[in-house]
Amino acid sequence: MNLHDIIRRPLITEKAADLQAQDKYVFEVARTANKVQVKSAVEKAFNVKVVDVNVITIPGKMRRSGRRFVPTSSWKKAIVKLKHGDTITYFEGV
């Protein structure tokens, strides 16, 4: 898998901003990706050293579509801890 297929987008939220203080960066990643793949993708994409990766699968939520409730897709969130001192600046716009 290509590294850009693994990392879908950075999550830029209040919570993610707070985590940056602990050298942690948050991404949405491919559902099929595992921690090892995320680690190598982030290291290559941003030229940083990753020391830890936590992943969570966020279950899709029930949303109404007309008369029926349909689930939105589940997705995978990865919280990547970098070596202290390394930083990531996001280029894509918010």
- Kindly list the residues in this chain that would bind another protein in the complex (CB under 8 A): 11-14, 16-17, 93-94
Q: Residue 60 Cβ, how far from another protein at the closest point, in Å?
A: 19
- Rounded to whole angstroms, how far apart are CA atoms 10 and 20? 12
- Min. distance of Cβ 43 from another protein in angstroms? 24
Which amino acid is residue 89, in one-letter code?
Answer: T
Instruction: Report the candidate in 28, 25, 89, 37 with the shortest Cα–Cα distance to residue 56.
Output: 28
Nearest to another protein of 39, 80 (CB atom):
80
Closer of 9 and 44 to another protein (Cβ): 9
Longest dimension (CA), the chain: 51
